[in-house]
Amino acid sequence: MNINRHYLDLQDSYLFATVAEKIAAYEAQNPDQRVIRLGIGDVTRPLCRAAVEAMEQAVREQGTAAGFHGYGPYQGYDFLQDALRQHYAAFGVTLERDEIFVSDGAKSDVGNILDIFAADNRVLVPDPVYPVYVDTNIMAGRRVFYADATAENGFLPLPDEKTDADIVYLCSPNNPTGAVYDRAGLKAWVDYARARDAVILFDAAYECFVTRPELPHSIYEVEGARECAIEIGSFSKTAGFTGTRCGYTVVPLELKRGGVRLRDLWLRRQSTKFNGVSYVVQRGAAAVLSGEGQRQIRADHAYYMENAAIMADALREMGVWFVGGEQSPYVWFRCPEGDSWAFFDRLLTRAQVAGTPGAGFGRNGEGYFRLTAFGTHEDTQEAMRRFIKAL
C-alpha cells in the first residue's frame, strides 16, 4: 500500500489550524484573559429572518408525506438555480440552469473542481491568497507557481505573457488583501486565458461586499469569460452560512477544453461523488436571494463594514499603512514591527487580540497582517483599543 506522498509536500499545518493552536495554548496558560478573535474569517451575525423562516417551513414539509424530499437533483433544486440566475441577472449576466451547480460551500468546490483537470497542468496562484488553492494542488502533485501581489501593483497582479499557466486562480474581492479587480483587470486575465486555452477559477466568495458600481461582482461581466472561466460562490460570508453550508459553482456551457464541455465533466464528477445539499438548506439559500432576504443581509453587511471602518480609523490613528476594508471585510496592514508571526505573538500576548499573519497566505504576505470585520462592534472596538494601547 502506498499513501499519497504529495501530502508530505504540504507545509506543516493549515494556517488557521496553527492560529487556533496558538490561541488555545495562550488561553490554557492565561485562563483569566479573554482573547478577541479577529483572525479566521468566520461571521458573527445570525442568519437572516427570511432564511430562518424558509428553513423552518422546509423542515415542516420534510415531516409530511406530501412535502417530503429525498435525494435532490445533482445540480440543486430549480428554485435555487432560478434565484441564482436572477441574482446574476442584476449584474447583467445571463446563466442557464444547466450551468449552475449548488454545493455545500466554496471550499469544497475549490478543492473538488481539480478532479476534472489533469495532474500535469501548471497552476498559477496569486501570492498572497486563500491557502486552499495551493494546498489542494500540492495534494494532487501539481506544480504551482505564483503571481506576485504586492503593494506596488495594489495586490492585483496582471498576467505576465512569459508565464505559461493552464489553470489560473483569481479571488476578488481578495482574501486576504481586500483588493478588488476592475473590469479592465479581469479582461486582461480573460484575454490571457483565452490566448493559451487556460482556465480561470474565479472565487467570488466575497462578491456581496462590492458596492461601487464600476466594480464587477462576477467574472462573467467581462466579455469572453464564458469561454474560459469557472466561477465559485458562497452563502457563507454573504448570509452567515458558514455553519449552515451552501455555495455554488458556475461552469458555462461554452467552456470546452480538448473538445469536451467542462460542465459535463463536472456533472459527472458531482453525480458520482456528491449527493447534493439538503432541501432545507437550499430553501434557506433561496430565501437569502429574495427581495426581503437581500434587504436583511444588506443590514448585516453594513454592520460588518462599520467594523472595518473602526479598524481603519484605529490604524490611521496609529499611522499604520493598510489597504482593504472598503469593498471587502478584510483589512490588510503592514506590521508595525517584526515579521508577521512575531507580530501575531506580540498582539496575542500583549493585547489578547488574534489576527492572521500575512506570511500564512504566501511569501508576499510576510510583513503584513489580516484582521476581519466579521466580529461584533463591541469586540472590534475593544480589540482596537487594546491594539493602540499595546503598541
Nearer to ligand PLP, 205 or 354 (CB): 205
Nearer to ligand PLP, 144 or 314 (CB): 144
The CB-of-214 to ligand PLP minimum distance in angstroms stands at 22
The CB-of-30 to ligand PLP minimum distance in angstroms stands at 28
The rounded distance, in Å, linking the Cα atoms of 119 and 4 is: 13
The rounded distance, in Å, linking the Cα atoms of 161 and 158 is: 10
The CB-of-171 to ligand PLP minimum distance in angstroms stands at 5
- Among residues 311, 341, 348, which one has the least CA distance to residue 326? 311
Contact call for residues 246 and 235 (beta carbons, < 8 A): yes
Nearer to ligand PLP, 110 or 114 (CB): 110
The CB-of-207 to ligand PLP minimum distance in angstroms stands at 11
The rounded distance, in Å, linking the Cα atoms of 98 and 337 is: 51
Nearer to ligand PLP, 178 or 252 (CB): 178
- CA angle, 347 as apex, 343 and 350 as ends, to 5°? 125
Nearer to ligand PLP, 138 or 314 (CB): 138
b/e burial code for range 179-201 (CB count within 10 A of at least 16 → b): bbbeeebbbbbbebbeeeebbbb
All three cell numbers of 30? 492565561
CB 82: neighbour CB atoms within 10 A? 15
The CB-of-63 to ligand PLP minimum distance in angstroms stands at 28
Contact call for residues 249 and 266 (beta carbons, < 8 A): yes
Using alpha carbons only, how large is the chain's radius of gyration in Å?
21
Nearer to ligand PLP, 205 or 348 (CB): 205
Instruction: List interacting residues with ligand PLP (CB under 6 A).
Output: 41, 105-107, 110, 130, 171, 175, 203, 205, 234, 236, 242, 247
Contact call for residues 81 and 99 (beta carbons, < 8 A): no
The rounded distance, in Å, linking the Cα atoms of 66 and 42 is: 37
The CB-of-241 to ligand PLP minimum distance in angstroms stands at 7
Contact call for residues 190 and 223 (beta carbons, < 8 A): yes
The CB-of-260 to ligand PLP minimum distance in angstroms stands at 26
Match 490566448 to its residue by C-alpha cell: 195
Nearer to ligand PLP, 105 or 157 (CB): 105
Contact call for residues 274 and 105 (beta carbons, < 8 A): no
The CB-of-3 to ligand PLP minimum distance in angstroms stands at 26
3-class secondary structure, 144? strand
Nearer to ligand PLP, 110 or 281 (CB): 110
The CB-of-41 to ligand PLP minimum distance in angstroms stands at 4
All three cell numbers of 313? 480609523
All three cell numbers of 323? 489597504
Nearer to ligand PLP, 246 or 311 (CB): 246
